[in-house]
Amino acid sequence: MGEAQKPNAGKIEWGRRALTIVIVAPIVIWCILTSFGTTLVLLDVLSAVCLLEYRRNICTGLLARLGAMPSPAGPSPSSSSSSSSSSSSSSSSSSSSAAAAAVIQCGGAGEELRGGTSWHPRRVASNDALLPALGALAVLGTAGGGAGFAAAGSCCLAVLLLAHLLRAEGSRGAGAAHHHPATGGVTALSMVSLALDLTGLVYVGGGFGFMSLQRGRPTLRAMGQTLNMCLCVWNADNGALFAGRALGRSPLLASVSPGKTVEGALGGLALATATAVALPRLLPVAWFPPLPAAAAGSGAAAAAAAAAAAAAPHRVGHVSLGLLIGVAAVCGDLVASFMKRAAGVKDSGAFFPGHGGCLDRMDSFLLASPVVYFLTSN
C-alpha cells in the first residue's frame, strides 16, 4: 500500500503507477471475474512470491541484525584472554562474521551464532524454497473449501516444524566442534528462525487463503465482494497517498513509518468507504445483496420486503464494510512497514519494481481478506 506521505516527502513514480492501473489491475479483475480456478492460480503465485521476498529480505535482515548484537552473557572465558589483545580491526571482523553467521542461520542451516561451517548454496536455496512452497500449498487447499484449507494449513505447519528440527540435527553433525554439548545445533537464532517462518506462513498464507475462500463460495455475491475488496483496498491506497501529500501534517506512527500521516489514513478510509457504497449501485444487484439479514417472516409481505432490499442495498451495511476494509488496509500497510523497519530494509523485494516489492503491494490485502470473509459469510 502506498505511503500516506507528508507533502513533498518523496517522489512518486507516476509512470509505474499508471502501468499498474492499465495492466496489472485489469489482469487481477479478469482473474476474479473469470473463474475460481484462475483466481486460485493467481493467489498461489502471489503467495509464493511474497513468502520468497519475506524469507530472503525480511528474515535475513532480522537475523543478521540479531547476529551482530553482543551476547547478553558476555564473551566466553576462552575468548576473553584473546579479546584483550585483539585490535580494533579484529573486533570489526568478529562483528561482520557474526552477521554473516546470522544470515546463514536464516538460510536454515542451523549453525551456531558464531562459527557455523556447514553452509552450502544449495542448502540455502532449498530452505528458501520451502516456505513459499508451503504457503502455495496452503492456498491450494482452499479448493476443498474451509475444511481443505484447515487440513492443508495443518500439514504445512507440521512439515515446517519437522524441517526446522531436521535442520538443527543436521547442523549438529556438520559443525559439532562449534556447538555447545548441551544444545548441539539448537541456538537462540534457531528459535527466532522458526518463529519467523511460522509468522510468514500464517500471515501471508492465511491472508491469501481467506481471499481464495471468499472467491470460492458458489455465489455471485462471493465474486462481487472479492472485487469490492480489491477496489476498496486500491482506493484506500490512493486516498491515503493523495490526502497525505495534500493535507498530511500529523504523523500516524512515526516510529514505524515516518511518511504516513493521520490525514492520509483518514483520506484512505473515506475513499474506501465511498467505493464500498458506490460499487453496488454500478454493478449487477445480484453481486451485492444487502449485508444485514433480511427481516424474518413469510408470505407476500416478506417477499416484497426482500425484493425491495435487494433492489436498494443497505447503505449502513456497506458503509461499515468499507470502513473496516479501509482500517484493515491501513493496518496491513503498517505491519509491513514494521517488519521492514525491524529488518533494516527499505523494500520487501524486487519482484514488483518501483513499488517496493510484491509483499509491499499485497500487504493491505493480507488483513482485509479475513475481514471481508467473515463479515460476508452469511
* Residue 160: pLDDT over 80: yes
* Residue 157: pLDDT over 90: yes
Q: What confidence score (pLDDT) does residue 287 get? A: 72
Say if residues 329 and 207 touch (Cβ distance below 8 Å): no
Closest CA to 49 of 369, 340, 352: 352
49-63, 66-80, 108-122, 157-171: which range is least confident on average? Answer: 108-122
Better pLDDT: 343 or 104 = 343
Which one of 163-167, 178-182, 202-206, 253-257 scores highest in mean pLDDT?
A: 202-206
| Mean pLDDT confidence for 20-46 | 86
Instruction: Please name the residues in contact with 180: beta carbons below 8 A apart, sequence gap of 6 or more.
Output: 112
83-97, 206-220, 230-244, 306-320: which range is least confident on average? Answer: 83-97
Which one of 128-142, 160-174, 347-361 scores highest in mean pLDDT?
A: 128-142
Half-sphere exposure in the Cβ direction for 27 (13 Å, CA): 9
Q: What angle do CA 238, 244, 247 make, to 5 degrees?
A: 130
What whole-number distance in Å separates Cα of residue 311 and Cα of residue 152?
A: 40
Q: What confidence score (pLDDT) does residue 361 get? A: 86
| Mean pLDDT confidence for 173-184 | 47
* Residue 204: pLDDT over 80: yes
* Residue 71: pLDDT over 50: no
Amino acid at 53: E
| Mean pLDDT confidence for 72-98 | 45
Better pLDDT: 353 or 183 = 353
Share of the chain above pLDDT 70, in %: 65
Q: What confidence score (pLDDT) does residue 259 get? A: 86
What whole-number distance in Å separates Cα of residue 363 and Cα of residue 360?
A: 5
Q: pLDDT digit string (tens) for 333-346?
A: 999 999 999 988 88
What pTM value is reported for the model? 0.77
| Mean pLDDT confidence for 304-311 | 51
* Residue 254: pLDDT over 70: yes
- Distance linking the first and last C-alpha atoms of the chain: 29
Say if residues 143 and 152 touch (Cβ distance below 8 Å): no
Q: How confident is the model at residue 305 (pLDDT cuts 50, 70, 90)?
A: low
Q: How confident is the model at residue 128 (pLDDT cuts 50, 70, 90)?
A: confident
Q: What confidence score (pLDDT) does residue 106 get? A: 45
Q: What confidence score (pLDDT) does residue 87 get? A: 44
